[in-house]
Structure 1
Amino acid sequence: MLAARALSRGRPTEWFEELYAAGDRGETTVPWNRPAAAPQLTEWLAGLGAPDGRRAVVVGCGLGADAEFVGAAGFATTAFDIAPTAVATVRRRFPDSPVDYRVADLLALPDEWAGAFDVVVEIINVQALPVSLRPTATAAVASLVAPGGNLLVVENVREDGAPPSERPPWAFTRAEVTAFAERGLELVSLKQTSTPTLRWQAEYRLT
């Protein structure tokens, strides 16, 4: 498995590019790719009101379904992925997109992105990283939110007391998903959704 080999090499994010490159060659499919935006995102974004010039960022954009939805809604949208092939593919798919697609590493974000976005979307990316990296990744996501901004977090559910899986995705307990409430972020709402995977849907706001 690509993830297992990358972990054994001590390079836990290397397998994302390997997977997207294999997908680009037609050798495999990207398992989390979707033809449309996540239902949690469509519901949540509708509740934020008019874009009014607000800046948005989509973490780990993959092949662009969520980012295209946010951009089409009128937000000034940046979307990034660690895999260059993913970014190249999504640019080919949507050559006239208003979204600014970038290659970037969640664990080493550009300095100018700190506190720069009014809307931050994190959907099933942090759970693809080893649990040992979770505090760093969680803090990185939180760092993107501007004062007064909103953060949506969607991750798979792991019941309290259940052991972590041996391979990704590493689902979140309630305590882990509420750990995004740092750097001044406050938890606004938390619920579980099933579409069809049981997932946390958490909203945070930076006051």
Structure 2
Amino acid sequence: MNLIQTAIPDLLILEPKVFGDARGFFMESYNARTFRELTGLDVDFVQDNHSRSAKGVLRGLHYQIQQAQGKLVRVVRGSVFDVAVDLRKASPTFGLWAGVELSEENQRQVWIPPGFAHGFLVTSDSADFLYKTTDYYAPQHERCLLWNDPVVGVAWPLAQIDGAPQLSAKDVAGKGLADCEVFA
């Protein structure tokens, strides 16, 4: 597995070794020992999630203010533009975002530490998105940073979709960075 740093030091891209031939491919999508050796992190994943979304669906930017979740995310079908925003007030990268294409072709994964908001835009006809979390889903603690907050300024690749993104009511009602609860 190969580790790629992003502009935000704690946000990491992981590229697994993929072995392919005419029959298909094999890859180890997660190995605790390899993850620990590459990242220096000893995490305990407690929940796996799988979502399927149509082209143009934008999910996010979500986080849990308590029971904060670290996430290891990947796409197994289709492609998305994946985004994480640092909401750790004491961090030198507070309020900054990083984005990366995740797809079934590139097999990349992203480690998103606790303290980040996370979201993605589906850029293919549909996408199956998988993620492992370090804490359980706690809807009472879930918060949403507005996907198009001008202060954060995420450069979503909206030209890759037909029209405006499809959003849930929760995502439409997200708050701007100035009004969000953030991490110490």
TM-score scaled by length of structure 1: 0.26
The answer to which structure has the higher helix fraction is 1
Answer 1 or 2: higher relative contact order, Cα 8 Å, separation at least 6: 2
TM-score (normalizing by structure 2): 0.28
